[in-house]
A = this chain, B = another copy of it.
Amino acid sequence: MLPLTKRVFTGDRRAVSRAISLVENRVGEYSVLLGEIYPHTGRASVVGVTGPPGTGKSSIVDRLVSLCRRKNYSVAVLAVDPTSPITGGAILGDRVRMLEHSLDPKVYIRSMASRGNAGGLSRAAKDSIRILDAAGNDYIFVETVGIGQTEIEIVGVADTVLVVIMPELGDEIQANKAGLMEIGDIFVVNKSDLPGADKVVYNLQSVLSSREGWKQPVIKISAKTSEGMDTLLSKIEEHLRCAREPDRLAKRTAARLAEELIENVAFAVSEDVRVKLQRDAEFRSLLDKVEKRKLDPETASTLLARKYLGHLES
């Protein structure tokens, strides 16, 4: 076993940071590490927090961390930003906001930005959650900055997903609920002091329905004043008990692992095709025709795809 793996198991913060960096950059002995860590995962409760920007997700996580610490749980926060190719202000902001927890050895906070590769980020997030899990954290909060496809994929690995919205967001944002309705286990209406909060709760309740025996609740809170935060944590715990019930957990995990393997393999193969195309004389010749408008991109793509799919058939 790698010395780093052993240190991760003891919950050593510096080891955890180092391990996440290896996994994030896919360097060093990251694959050995992941292999050693994997058998020791599955214990932590993973809570995903998503929703439009500006709804106060970080503040909510901050409050939930405090409540969890009062119950003496150890907690990790993974803040993921697929829209930012560099670690930007938001994530720095989170860190500042999280300052009150920074001296608490039982709270670990980590940010992760995209480096221009959404697929890679999603994978790095999944593997980082495994590291945080193996390090003995009771709760892992996974927070995203926005609500894009990647964000939904990332929080999708959680046992319980909170969707945070707020009053006074335009129609545009309300429409985004379409994508969020399916992923949310608990809907949180933050900034409950703003006008229109009750209307948002009502509108949400009217479109939500039960699934797998769980009625998606809508909880009105104010992260600023802490109003409703206890109720929220109770609901999270209630959903976690339901979601982590062994049969249910095994079934969900199996489906997710299948999707993860397929995703990884499809990604590896498509990356390889990209590299091969760059050196492919036929690609250059077809591209030249497309540039001169003698051939359209659709036909050129189909011809090239057929060639590479032909390789796959063999």
Inside 8 A of A212's CB, which chain B residues have their CB?
Answer: none
Q: How far is the CA of A274 from the CA of B271 in the complex (A)?
A: 14
A118 an interface residue at 8 Å Cβ cutoff? yes
Q: Mark A154-170, 1 if CB is under 8 A from B, else 0.
A: 00000000000000011
Question: In this assembly, does A286 line the interface, its C-beta being within 8 Å of a C-beta of chain B?
Answer: yes
Contact (Cβ within 8 A) B178 A84: yes
The verdict on A47 contacting chain B, using a C-beta distance below 8 Å, is no
CB contact list, A189-244 vs B, under 8 A: none
Which of B89, B268, B298 touches A31 (beta carbons < 8 Å)? Answer: B298
CA of A83 to CA of B298, assembled, Å: 25
B287 touches A257 (CB 8 A): yes
Contact of A93 among B58, B127, B171, B309 (CB under 8 A): B171
CB of A300 within 8 Å of the partner chain:
yes
In the docked arrangement, what's the CA distance between A53 and B171, Å? Answer: 9
A148→B309 contact, CB < 8 A: no
Copies in the complex: 2
B residues near A314, Cβ cutoff 8 Å: 311, 314
* Docked-complex contact A176 and B296, CB < 8 angstroms: no
The yes or no answer to A283 lying at the interface (CB within 8 A) is yes
- Residue in contact with A276 in the complex, picked from B83, B268, B312, CB distance below 8 Å: B312
Name the contact of A172 in the complex, choosing from B145, B171, B258, B273 (C-beta under 8 A). Answer: B145
Q: With both chains docked as a complex, state the minimum distance between the C-beta of A142 and any C-beta of chain B, in angstroms.
A: 16
Partner of A175, one of B42, B88, B176, B268: B88
Q: In the complex the two chains form, is B298's CB within 8 Å of A35's CB? A: yes
In the assembled complex, the CB of A161 is this many whole angstroms from the nearest CB of chain B, namely: 16
Binds B, one of A6-14, A70-78, A259-267: A259-267
* Neighbour of A283 across the interface among B34, B127, B261, B297, CB < 8 A: B261
Contact in complex: A290, B261 (CB < 8 Å): yes
Say yes or no for A15: interface residue by CB 8 A criterion: no
Tell yes or no: A102 within 8 A of B by CB: no
A99 at the interface (CB under 8 A from B): no
Does B277 lie within 8 Å of A273, measured CB to CB? no
Residues from chain B with Cβ under 8 Å of A58 in the complex = 172
Q: Which A-B residue pairs are the 9 nearest by beta carbons?
A: A148-B148, A90-B175, A264-B301, A88-B175, A38-B296, A268-B305, A266-B270, A270-B270, A89-B175
| Residues in A lying within 8 Å of B, measured CB to CB | 31, 34-35, 37-39, 41-42, 52-54, 58, 81-86, 88-93, 114, 118, 127, 145-151, 169-179, 182, 250, 253-254, 257-258, 260-262, 264-274, 276-278, 283, 286-287, 290-291, 293, 296-302, 304-305, 308-309, 311-314
